[in-house]
Chain A
């Protein structure tokens, strides 16, 4: 598809492989979907109510570019309390239209055309395209099931060149569910410091870890000054449709991102910001209930996958399992397509998440237990029929 009106940068970008599966699955009835990358909860009522109340009070104008001061204040304190980071709410926190905008801001503010950004893969689908859009060059650092999809210092070092600007990290990870321990992150941090790289740390699943507490990259020794922290409300507070996230960085870098944000977005949605304020002030109990339920479903789903013969590492966070389907001899796409047509279960083929994803499928277990049970049964019959 070329068109003389489109820019070269846009022409270079491939449509997401997820799109194709969405189109296929949407055309069918009675499917069980394990393809959904969002919580199966509606936003907790107190958050919805706070947003409604803000509308009733007529709080319908723009906020400061960086977001409501009281919200930035809560974000800063929340991050300190939960993850031991230290960001000044006045100069180092920007409220964005989702983590998605935050990733875009981070790239645009720091990467020059021709510079390389390492993307640890399998990864969330928007990283590489967002690097390409600004003329940067995404360079994949591939992880594998043998290491539980953790990235190692050696893997990173082997991809560093003198054009490398930074590295995109995401733990807990979409699509693998992998988390990294403090020790493991410190080893990675060591090479990052050695090569003077920026870290773009997407920690949107930080609250959703099931075996150990999340370790935040900017809280590691010597990492604050080189890290841009990306996060948001979508996952932990079940607020995907609100389009609200935030980005934190040392003041000069934050000021750079704010320049773009003020021209491109002006400010994040005001009513959503009032909802988020309530989420941070009074949302913890309900958030923890949701996290407990995800952990239980993780336990159920991963042990069930093993019972039907699929090899799966134990995902320590997020709400995805990323089992290997190599034993079936099918490619990820073949497996996903056949499973969809034969048993009406939708999963996402691993290859759409970049290098290291082939041979795997992403299954989101953020769906009801009844559906999960049925999905496992159907996958079992499918595998036996091969």
Chain B
């Protein structure tokens, strides 16, 4: 159990870490690592492996990300789950969270342009029966994502040999 938590923390930082390396770090065999990983995958504790991309560094038409606060009317019996499902099935929706506070759902949308996102909000999101209101915020710059700082200035300043 303790090793499993350690494994998860390692993979969360580096999903591409080779099994051989993980085995050495955790002081277990490679088979143990494979087994733990496939078990975690089966239990959907690990739900995928993805790279963290700074899209601003490549020559592609820059996409745009918006975070939308949505107020909804929950339904008897199913609460927020039904409307949540109707929202997250749209492929434009990258993430969806149920929130405490002044609104209910936080929707993260990615689109090619601002108008594309606007269109999605006005045509698809606002028109859902349970949606009461939306507030759209566009992301201007990414400083840190999933614990990773983009353009980290923390270099190694240590002197090469010390006591």
Q: Which residues of A contact B (CB under 8 A)?
A: 16, 18, 21-22, 25-26, 31, 33, 35-38, 40, 42, 124-126, 174, 292, 296-297, 299-300, 303-304, 346, 348, 367, 369, 373
Contacts and interface: CB of A to CB of B under 8 A. Distances in A.
A288 B162 CA distance: 24
Nearest to A175: B163
A296 B163 contact: no
Interface centre among B21, B25, B154 (most CB of A within 10 A): B25
Contacts of A25: 160-161
A35 B25 contact: no
B24 interface: yes
A22 B26 contact: no
A40 B10 CA distance: 18
Interface residues of B, number: 16
Nearest to B157: A42
B160 A37 contact: no
Interface string B149-163: 000001010111111
Contacts of B160: 22, 25-26, 31, 33, 35-36, 346
B31 interface: no
B158 A38 contact: yes
Given A22-B159, A296-B10, 14 more contacts: A16-B163, A18-B161, A22-B160, A25-B160, A26-B160, A33-B158, A38-B162, A124-B163, A174-B163, A292-B9, A296-B25, A348-B161, A369-B21, A373-B21
Nearest to A26: B160
B26 A296 contact: yes
Nearest to A371: B156
A15 to B, nearest CB: 12
B163 A18 contact: yes
A33 B161 contact: yes
Nearest to B158: A36
B162 A40 contact: no
Nearest to A366: B158
Contacts, number: 61
A304 B24 contact: yes
A152 B156 CA distance: 39
A297 B17 CA distance: 14
Nearest to B6: A292
Given A22-B160, A35-B162, A124-B163, A42 B25 contact: no
Nearest to B5: A292
B27 interface: yes
Contact of A37 (B10, B26, B156, B163): B163
B161 A300 contact: no
Task: Give the 5 A-B residue pairs with the shortest CB-CB distance, closest first.
Answer: A35-B161, A296-B25, A22-B161, A300-B24, A299-B27
A174 B163 CA distance: 9
A21 B27 CA distance: 33
Nearest to A28: B160
B26 to A, nearest CB: 7
Contacts of B158: 33, 36, 38, 40
Contacts of A40: 156, 158
B85 to A, nearest CB: 36
A104 to B, nearest CB: 14
15 contacts: A16-B163, A18-B163, A26-B160, A26-B161, A35-B161, A36-B159, A36-B160, A36-B161, A292-B6, A299-B25, A300-B24, A304-B24, A348-B161, A367-B156, A369-B25
A296 B6 contact: yes
B161 A21 contact: yes
B25 A22 contact: no
A62 B94 CA distance: 54
A87 B33 CA distance: 45
Contacts of B21: 300, 369, 373
A126 B163 contact: yes
Contacts of B162: 18, 22, 35-38
Contacts of B154: 42
Nearest to B24: A300
A369 B26 CA distance: 13
Nearest to B13: A293
Interface string B57-87: 0000000000000000000000000000000
B1 to A, nearest CB: 15
A152 B162 CA distance: 29
Given A40-B158, A292-B6, A296-B6, A125 B163 contact: yes
B159 to A, nearest CB: 7
Contacts of A31: 160
